[in-house]
Amino acid sequence: MSESVPPTHTFTQIDDADLTGLNTLGLPARAQRLARPTTLDALSQVLAERNPAEPLFVIGEGSNLVICSDLPGLTLSLAIDGMSLVKQDNTHVWVAAGAGVHWDDLVAWTVEQGWQGLENLSLIPGTVGAAPFQNIGAYGVELSQLLEQVTVMDVVTAQVTHFAGNECEFAYRDSRFKSRDRGRYIITGIELRLNKMPQCNVSYGPLKARFGHLSQADILPAAVREHVIAVRQSKLPAPDVLANAGSFFKNPVVTKERGDALKRRFADLVAYTQPDGVKLAAGWLIEQAGWKGKRLGPVGMHSEQALVLVNHGNATSADVIALAEAVCADVQEKFGVALEQEPVLLP
């Protein structure tokens, strides 16, 4: 379904904007022009006034970015707000949120209402608009399992389109917005379907240990959220304390034969059987390759969570890339496994 949006609203725009505080790795960079549209109309106006030949970037809270140099052209940071109940039946609620909403505000609001679904995704940094881009996931739950539809605006035509969840080509940390349609659409909002009766997923280790002995009816989303927050705070460095972009590499998936061969060589290999092969814990591979807590100049792999690359201060993107390459090379040499970087490189 498509509809046209008349350009009637205005928007704020900053020339030569400093992006250092707008990426959680704290890398120094500037945007030639940074615009923050607050409505669909304003976004459509920004696009209409833009020279189509100039580069266009979209950023959220910069928690999954490696900004390698200044961004030419126009950078958009959506400030489209709002969370609402769209409809409900006896068992489900449908909720909508604007792309500019802070993700964890949406989780907190739905859990406060007693609606179940988002609790495992508590405290993931970033915006609602970025969440479908890489199909955020944590503790056994992915956004794709709850997503009813994604609303997008085409960057060329400014047409608004709604994609049903099953049209978004979601995969592990991937979607059509990150892969084949990259740069074509701006995500402006999402709609989720959540449960009225709790059916919390506590299959993941730390949640199983805490809630595994309880019956489903006794596991409340608010309690799961509280525990997820406590576990995350104990394991992951907060970016405002130690700059980082979360997991720096995806967990690699190898064939069953390759996984079995690795298990024979490394008895304590951390691996999970998947329909398409065996998923290896990238953090374990990095730790075994000797990088946990190790530094290379101003950057390093975190001392508690080897998967998280941290900026100890004044790092440049060249420092980040040099460390990422060194880690990849050592994991490749020791295990014969290629790591894939999770954060997006800009420009």
Ligand X SMILES: Cc1cc2nc3c(=O)[nH]c(=O)nc-3n(C[C@H](O)[C@H](O)[C@H](O)COP(=O)(O)OP(=O)(O)OC[C@H]3O[C@@H](n4cnc5c(N)ncnc54)[C@H](O)[C@@H]3O)c2cc1C
Tell which one of 34, 35, 40, 62 touches ligand X (CB under 6 A): 62
173 is catalytic: yes
CA distances, 113 to each of 146, 196, 221 (Å) = 16, 9, 10
- Which tokens go with 67? 């900004």
Q: Which of 324, 254, 331, 247 shows the shortest CA–CA distance to 286?
A: 331
Q: Is 63 near ligand X (CB under 6 A)?
A: yes
Which C-beta is closer to ligand X: that of 105 or that of 330? 105
Instruction: Let me know: does 309 contact 248? Beta carbons within 8 Å.
Output: yes
Secondary structure (DSSP) of 23-78: STT----EEEEEEE--SHHHHHHHHHHS-TTS-EEEESSSTTEEE-SPEEEEEEE-
Q: What is the smallest separation between the CB atom of 155 and ligand X, expressed in angstroms?
A: 9
**One of 191, 247, 287, 317 is an active-site residue; which one?**
247
Which C-beta is closer to ligand X: that of 185 or that of 211? 185
Adjacency order of strands within the sheet including 253-254: 253-254, 277-280, 271-274
Q: Could you give the CA distance from residue 71 to residue 199 in angstroms, rounded to a whole number?
A: 44
Tell which one of 110, 116, 134, 149 touches ligand X (CB under 6 A): 134
Which C-beta is closer to ligand X: that of 245 or that of 327? 245
Which C-beta is closer to ligand X: that of 138 or that of 296? 138
287 is catalytic: no
Which C-beta is closer to ligand X: that of 201 or that of 332? 201
Which residues in the 93-132 window bind ligand X by CB under 6 A?
A: 99, 124-127, 129-131
304 is catalytic: no
Instruction: Give the other-Cβ count within 10 Å of 329's Cβ.
Output: 12
CA angle at 44 for the pair 40 and 45, rounded to the nearest 5°: 120
Q: What is the smallest separation between the CB atom of 26 and ligand X, expressed in angstroms?
A: 11
3-state secondary structure of 270: coil
Stretch that binds ligand X, among 13-21, 62-70, 309-317, 326-334 (CB under 6 A): 62-70
Q: Which of 60, 143, 137 shows the shortest CA–CA distance to 102?
A: 60
Which residues in the 310-329 window bind ligand X by CB under 6 A?
A: none
Which residues in the 181-240 window bind ligand X by CB under 6 A?
A: 186-187, 236, 239
In a 13 Å sphere around the CA of 197, the CA atoms on its Cβ side amount to: 6
Q: Is 283 near ligand X (CB under 6 A)?
A: no
**One of 173, 176, 193, 210 is an active-site residue; which one?**
173
Q: Is 61 near ligand X (CB under 6 A)?
A: yes
Stretch that binds ligand X, among 60-68, 88-96, 158-166, 253-261 (CB under 6 A): 60-68
Q: Is 24 near ligand X (CB under 6 A)?
A: yes
Q: Which of 161, 192, 194, 196 shows the shortest CA–CA distance to 96?
A: 192
Which residues in the 39-58 window bind ligand X by CB under 6 A?
A: 58
Instruction: Let me know: does 186 contact 77? Beta carbons within 8 Å.
Output: no
Q: What is the smallest separation between the CB atom of 289 and ligand X, expressed in angstroms?
A: 22
Which C-beta is closer to ligand X: that of 71 or that of 337? 71
Which residues in the 73-92 window bind ligand X by CB under 6 A?
A: 78
- Which tokens go with 327? 């880690």
Tell which one of 64, 144, 151, 251 touches ligand X (CB under 6 A): 64
Amino acid at 61: E
Q: Could you give the CA distance from residue 111 to residue 306 in angstroms, rounded to a whole number?
A: 31
Site of interaction with ligand X (CB under 6 A): 24, 58-65, 78, 99, 124-127, 129-131, 133-134, 136-138, 177, 186-187, 236, 239, 244-246, 344
Active-site residue numbers? 173, 247, 342
